[in-house]
A and B are shown apart, each in its own frame.
Chain A
Amino acid sequence: MIKRIGLGAAALGAVTLALAGTAGAAFPEKNITFIIPYGPGGGFDTYVRKIAPVMKKYLGGKINVVPKNVAGAGGRKALNVMYRAKPNGYTIAVFNMPGMLLDKILGKKTTYDIDKFTWIGRIARSKYVLVVGKKSPYQSIKSLRQAKRLKYAITSTSSGSYVGGKIMAKALGMNIKFLPGYKGSAKVSLSMIRGDTHLSLFNTRSYAKWAKGGDVKAVLSFEKKSPFPGVPTVSEIGYPNLEALTIERVVGTAPGVSKKVQKILSDALFAALNDPAIQKWNKKTGRPIDPLKGPATGKLITDLAKFFTQYKDILK
């Protein structure tokens, strides 16, 4: 009897497996939700809304990839939702790295395990540039390093700009007071333009946008070759290891998604990022596109975690 039930269960299991197999083969059969961990209007939002319809094309064109903003707790709410989602690949999310690794690096308790997500790929890597307001008394990297006390506006202590700012401050010996509560780079810039704060790290592209107005000025580039004439790079002032400070826009899905589905999604994202429509947009707006496939993204995140763990004590 027991044997028979066992056999039955085995048979049932086999049927389920077979069904799952066919279901997997037909992936995707329904719309895919693409979670943006912040409110509408920001950089992550813009990327996802541009890429989603192109990704649809590479997923058979019959289903839609639907962007959804899940804002809350500095992105942690979306991580929670993504972590609990069914591992079927129908919910994917864009992640902000290394900002979203910070809780783990600092050993804070979270309701999700950042290591367990299934990685689909990377959309873009943004590099930093150190920016000062034109009203600030400190207009060069030298004077910033000599300043007694600097003020630096951040969104919250879980933002990438805070992580980068802290590590930079330690490396270059700057005395920085961080002021949280500025929602988004626009408000951070305004605070520098008004002269309320002195400096901030921007991604290169959003600085390029601000620079046109002539109210802020770059003083240090975190790239290998400075994109701004006359602005030194971190290597040039003797700190090449600061080049590792970047913003990675990566895409992941729930833990336990099958390799097969992961590959389908990863290939679709990769193809979408190389699509002429996206490449043209990249050239026109200057937003970087740096496609990476799923497994390589997983490795990137492990490396990032390793790199930032070195600075654990600084970030606390």
Chain B
Amino acid sequence: MVDVFGGLLNALGTASLHFLEFNSLVFLLAGTLCGLLFGAIPGLGGTTSLALLIPLTFGMDKADAIMLMGGSMAATSTGGSISAILLNTPGIAPNAATMFDGFPLAQQGRAGEAIGAAATASALGGLIGVFTLILVIPIAKQIVLLFSPPEFFLLAVFGLCAIAVSTGTRLLQALIAAIFGFICAFVGFDYVSGIVRYTYGIEALWDGIKLVPALIGLFAISQMIDLVVKGGAIVTTTSEFKIQRISSGIKAVFKNWSTMLVGSAIGTFIGAVPGVGGTVAAFLSYSTQVQRDPTPDVPYGQGNIKGVIAPESANNAKDGGSLIPTLAFGIPGSAETAVFLGALVLHGLEPGPRLLFEHEDVVFTLILTLTFACVIATLIVLALAKPMAYLTLVDAHILAPTVTVVALVGAYALQGEFGDVVVALAFAVIGYLMIRFQYPRITFTIALVLGEITERSFFQTMGISDDSWAIFVTRNVSLILIGLIIISLMVPSLRNWLRKRREARGEPA
């Protein structure tokens, strides 16, 4: 073990030499800027950015290529948080959970604070993810192997429990919205039965209702419709406009350090589990936060800063986490790492269990790139937060058409498919109706994000266990997850009951 660490430290030294070269730093910066930009523009996202950068790297040195692409990979979700907060549209899917509280904060004139918190949480989450990665390299395999389909299913169910706590006072509407989310999640090709279902023959739906176009419509465009109907700007309370509060956003992260730590831990773990992904990580982190905090000072969904910190720390931590399975087995932990690994193959490297031993320098260049890129990205965002936050003061008649066009172009740019634009427009109408008639979009989104993995992992579990439900209680990790689910469902009612008893005792009839 000492040997391994000694070797690792040595490689770390070699790798850090790259960071002293001017050229390499230019590539790192270029990659980071690229990632921020592609993250912030809805629809483009990390995989697009990487796919476009790959041809540029062909003539490059391996280390430079890694710095360019790694920088982009680490920065996208930081960039994506900006559009989630300011425009109520996720830059990339893992930022979707940031909208729930980020946008209400922007509406209250606290966009600067929200961006400050998101950027800080992103940097810290990213760093925690990378440090965890370094620490667990020796036991990476065991961690990846802890999770099987039964655990995926229970994780998804745990995430779904957040529907119950996010309903607020409109239980019926929230449940209807969630059921609608499930219905949408099951559209498209079903891997289990091998058939295309619920598409009414529409080819654009064969790959399912894609998350980003749907969310662009549901949140961004519908919000713009609402804005135009009501008039004014995103900030509804101009009198309380506090744009300079970026520093209070940064402080909020340190004040709510446990939220950030839990978020980062969830992000790292989910990142390490292949097949779950950053979006689920961010949602799980958000739901965990909501459930950990049953009596919040500000209700979740109405602009609670902790609702921004939780998902943002998770979706950056997952970058480090998703390299755990990569180093343990050569398996990408996320869509971005999948493309990234493809790029390494094009450079003649073979990602896999031996990479760490045969190309330590490559691994450490990557680790250092992720570390530096998430800090650089955050500094850039913090520096630009103030001018960007003024966007929330722009009048609807200028903002709405611009955002709508950018959002639709983003939906199209995702895969160059017109069908995605139609999906975005359809969900814009649905989203507006949901705003109008007060159906919560949060419960819809949670079900849409988690529906597919819930169903697929359930059928996989039943396949493994030969249709015996006992599999959920005979495995340690499953049992722990079941415990967590029960606790998260019980705690709010238990607290209510205790409070009522106390009140009853305090005021005897």
Contacts and interface: CB of A to CB of B under 8 A. Distances in A.
B255 interface: no
Contact of A40 (B55, B191, B208, B338): B338
A53 B189 contact: no
A309 interface: no
A284 B141 CA distance: 26
Nearest to B332: A41
B148 to A, nearest CB: 5
Interface string A69-112: 11111101100100000000000000000000000000000000
Contacts of A177: 463
Contacts of B463: 151, 177, 179-181
B207 A196 contact: no
A285 interface: yes
A186 interface: yes
A189 B331 CA distance: 10
Given A49-B54, A194-B145, A209-B350, A71 B194 contact: no
A153 B507 CA distance: 62
Given A50-B346, A71-B207, A77-B203, A41 B341 contact: yes
Contacts of A158: 194
A45 B342 CA distance: 8
A69 B141 CA distance: 31
A196 B149 contact: yes
Contacts of B342: 40-42, 45-46, 49
A19 B100 CA distance: 58
Contact of B332 (A49, A67, A186): A186
A161 interface: no
A100 to B, nearest CB: 13
Contact of B464 (A41, A67, A196): A196
Interface string B266-282: 00000000110000000
A213 interface: yes
A124 interface: no
Contact of B353 (A42, A156, A212): A212
Given A77-B206, A182-B460, A212 B354 contact: yes
Contact of A281 (B331, B341, B348, B459): B348
Interface in B121-151: 141, 144-145, 148-149
B194 A156 contact: yes
A157 interface: yes
Interface string A143-165: 00000000100011110000000
B206 A72 contact: yes
A72 B207 contact: yes
Given A40-B51, A212-B353, A213-B352, A180 B145 contact: no
Interface of A: 39-42, 45-46, 49-50, 53, 67-74, 76-77, 80, 151, 155-158, 177, 179-183, 186-187, 189-191, 193-194, 196-197, 209-210, 212-215, 281, 284-285
Given A180-B192, A183-B275, A186-B274, 8 more contacts: A39-B338, A45-B342, A74-B189, A80-B206, A181-B191, A196-B149, A197-B464, A212-B352
Interface of B: 47, 51, 54-55, 58, 141, 144-145, 148-149, 188-189, 191-194, 196, 203, 206-208, 274-275, 328-332, 335, 338-339, 341-342, 345-346, 348, 350, 352-354, 415-416, 456-457, 459-460, 463-464
